[in-house]
């Protein structure tokens, strides 16, 4: 694969990318409709292309599909693991601006604090009830993420399939509060996060577990991935890969059932018709994508982990239509706009669709174990049709044409094409401001 050995980081110095800043679009007719509440389902580790809503051949999300959601097709996470991406979504800031990168937050034993304010207190100050229920207990490691939530509940001891408990907790919270107050409700179910252990209700839906090449236990799956996989031939690797995906899909099916249970409950309470519902993810998951032998997440910015679903149910859905880029930073700005609320300041997030020509998604591979194409940890930048990846330590860069190569298997020298050369220039201008001492910690 051709790669550009680049000197551009030095060449471009500390120039800054024009900051799109935060701004408000003029209220549209739809944004004045009587939508009062926002429900965000930020499923942890949900891979977009496993959802039938995004064309997966298996009916993994049949109940949500039946509600005919708006589908955003160019939605990107700002990183590849939970803490930076969730911080981006709640602050409208890139991970570095929010202060949540590997440098600030060793995934094993340290904590970070948000450097910018969460937008959630603005909901509270406008009279909203606010709650977060997360099946990923790790959110406590970012001080400030809890700001503005009247209830911030991290569910421990539920390794998988915990959307049932999350939905139960959410409904109890809804019923316990002032029915006249609008709400901002954030759910982060952990079902499809490793280990892939489908609950009994869906076990066998896509695969007889007796035919799997490993036991349905965390230890057996870990051994299959971390010990066995690299030593197997292509047939053996395919068997492990497909077995893991079968279980992953069954957990997604369960999540779809639980999301539907919540939506039915909102309907019964007369709330769904005045609620905008967003089903997205903090990031995806890898299953040896492109023959990389990468599994899990936090190790790459390949599309399996970097592209996220953005499915929206909205009584007046027009503001969500269009093919524009959507970054995790844009979620809260767009919800404030949709609910016709005065927004707080968002460092980098913009309202979806307000300025598609300048919207850019940025992602930083904070953990870094390579791109899978001999490109080590670094940063990614996309305009939705093209993408560039840059290795921070070496300066190597690679470009992709997402229109003809959505799986990013045919990388090329980004200086060879005008589109990727422009992205490279923009990224070179941006990185020094975010990483003044180099883009790796
Ligand atoms: Zn996550």
How many whole angstroms from 160 Cα to the centroid of ligand 1?
A: 13
Distance of CA 234 to the CA centre of its chain: 30
What's the pLDDT tens digit per position in 213-255?
Answer: 999 999 999 999 999 999 999 999 999 999 999 999 999 999 9
Listed range (51-65, 124-138, 206-220, 415-429) with the worst mean pLDDT: 415-429
In percent, the amount of the chain with pLDDT more than 70 equals 82
Q: Which CATH number fits domain 30-359: 3.40.720.10, 2.160.20.70, 3.30.1360.30, 3.40.50.720?
A: 3.40.720.10
Distance 259 CA to ligand 1 centre (A): 18
Which of 48, 55, 73, 53 has the alpha carbon at shortest distance from 64? 53
CA–centroid distance, 413 to ligand 1, in Å, is 31
How many residues are listed for the chain in this entry?
Answer: 441
Separation of 224 CA from ligand 1 center, angstroms? 22
In whole angstroms, give the CA distance from residue 177 to residue 181. 8
State the distance from the centre of ligand 1 to the C-alpha of 6, rounded, in angstroms. Answer: 32
Q: Can you give the residue ranges of every domain in the chain?
A: 1-20+360-441, 30-359
Look at residues 351, 377, 384 and name the one whose alpha carbon lies nearest to residue 431.
Answer: 377
Cα of 282 to ligand 1 centre, how many Å?
5
Of 11, 10, 38, nearest to 123 (Cα)?
38
| Residue 178 Cα to ligand 1 middle (Å) | 31
Looking at residue 30, what is its pLDDT? 43
pLDDT at 392: 72
Cα(80) to centroid(ligand 1), Å: 8
Provide the pLDDT for residue 359. Answer: 60
- The pLDDT value given to residue 232: 96
Q: How far apart are the first and last CA of the chain?
A: 27
Reported as a single tens digit per residue, the pLDDT across 97-121 is: 898 876 555 554 457 899 999 999 9
* Ligand 1 centroid to residue 328 C-alpha, Å: 13
Torsion on CA atoms 365, 369, 375, 380, rounded to nearest 10: -10
**How does strand 75-76 pair with strand 286-287?**
unpaired
- Residue 197 CB-density burial (10 A; 0-12 exposed, 13-18 middle, 19+ buried): middle
| Residue-wise pLDDT tens digits, 430-440 | 877 777 666 64
Q: Hey, CA dihedral for 370, 376, 381, 383, is it positive or negative?
A: negative
In the prediction, which pLDDT does 360 show? 64
Provide the residues around ligand 1 (an ion) whose CB is within 5 A.
44, 82, 282
Residues 6+ apart with CB under 8 A from 366: 79, 80, 81, 84, 95, 101, 102, 103, 298
Percentage of the chain modeled with pLDDT above 90? 63
d(CA 216, CA 220): 7
Query: Distance from the CA of 294 to the center of ligand 1, in angstroms?
Result: 16
| Cα separations in angstroms, 48 against 192, 243, 387 | 12, 18, 18
Please give the pLDDT value at position 426.
87
User: Rounded mean pLDDT of 379-406?
Assistant: 87
Closest CA to 78 of 312, 359, 408: 359
Distance between Cα 77 and ligand 1 center (Å) = 11
Strand partners, 129: 183
Cα–Cα distance for residue pair 114/116, rounded to 1 Å = 5
- Among 76-85, 176-185, 426-435, which stretch is predicted with the lowest mean pLDDT? 426-435
> In angstroms, what is the span from residue 285 Cα to ligand 1's centroid?
9
Distance 28 CA to ligand 1 centre (A): 34
Q: pLDDT per residue over 7-29, tens digit each? A: 222 222 222 222 333 333 444 44
Report the separation in Å between the CA atom of 55 and the middle of ligand 1, taken as the mean of its atom positions. Answer: 23
The rounded Å distance from CA 283 to ligand 1 centre is 6
pTM: 0.89
Give the C-alpha separation, 388 to 423, whole Å. Answer: 7
For residue 81, how far is its CA from the centre of ligand 1 (angstroms)?
Answer: 5
- CA of 68 relative to ligand 1 center, distance in Å: 26
């Amino acid at each position: 694969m051709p790669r550009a050995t680049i000197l551009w980081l030095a060449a471009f110095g500390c120039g800054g990318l024009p900051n799109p800043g935060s701004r408000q679009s003029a209220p549209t007719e739809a944004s004045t409709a009587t939508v009062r509440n926002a429900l965000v389902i930020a499923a942890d580790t949900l891979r977009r292309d496993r959802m039938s809503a995004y064309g997966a051949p298996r009916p993994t999300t049949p109940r949500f599909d039946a509600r005919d959601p708006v589908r955003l097709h160019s939605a990107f996470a700002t990183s590849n693991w939970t803490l930076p991406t969730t911080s981006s979504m709640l602050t409208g800031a890139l991970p570095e601006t929010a202060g949540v990168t590997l440098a600030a937050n060793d995934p094993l034993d340290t904590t970070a604090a948000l450097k910018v304010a969460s937008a959630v207190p603005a909901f509270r100050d406008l009279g909203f009830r606010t709650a977060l229920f997360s099946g990923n207990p790790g959110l406590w490691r970012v001080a400030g993420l809890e700001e503005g939530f009247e209830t911030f509940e991290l569910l421990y001891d539920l390794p998988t399939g915990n959307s049932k408990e999350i939905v139960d907790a959410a409904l109890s919270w809804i019923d316990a509060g002032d029915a006249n107050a609008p709400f901002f409700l954030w759910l982060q179910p952990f079902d499809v996060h490793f280990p892939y252990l489908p609950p009994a209700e869906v076990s066998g839906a896509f695969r007889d577990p007796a035919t799997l090449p490993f036991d349905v236990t965390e230890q057996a799956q870990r051994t299959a991935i971390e010990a066995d996989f690299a030593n197997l031939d292509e047939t053996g690797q395919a068997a492990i890969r497909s077995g893991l995906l079968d279980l992953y899909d069954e957990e997604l099916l369960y999540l779809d059932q639980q999301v539907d249970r919540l939506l039915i409950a909102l309907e019964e309470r007369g709330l769904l018709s005045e609620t905008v519902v967003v089903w997205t993810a903090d990031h995806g998951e890898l299953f040896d994508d492109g023959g990389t032998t990468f599994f899990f997440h936090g190790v790459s910015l390949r599309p399996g982990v970097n592209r996220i679903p953005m499915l929206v149910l909205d009584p007046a859905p027009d503001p969500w239509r269009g093919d524009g880029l959507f970054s995790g930073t844009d979620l809260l700005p767009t919800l404030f706009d949709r609910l016709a609320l005065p927004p707080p300041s968002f460092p980098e997030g913009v309202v979806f669709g307000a300025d598609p020509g300048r919207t850019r998604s940025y992602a930083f591979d904070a953990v870094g174990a390579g791109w899978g194409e001999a490109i080590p940890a670094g940063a990614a930048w996309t305009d939705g049709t093209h993408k560039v990846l840059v290795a921070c330590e070496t300066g190597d860069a690679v470009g992709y044409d997402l229109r003809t190569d959505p799986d990013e298997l045919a990388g090329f020298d980004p200086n060879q094409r005008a589109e990727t050369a422009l992205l490279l220039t923009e990224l070179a201008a941006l990185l020094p401001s975010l990483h003044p001492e180099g883009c790796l910690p």
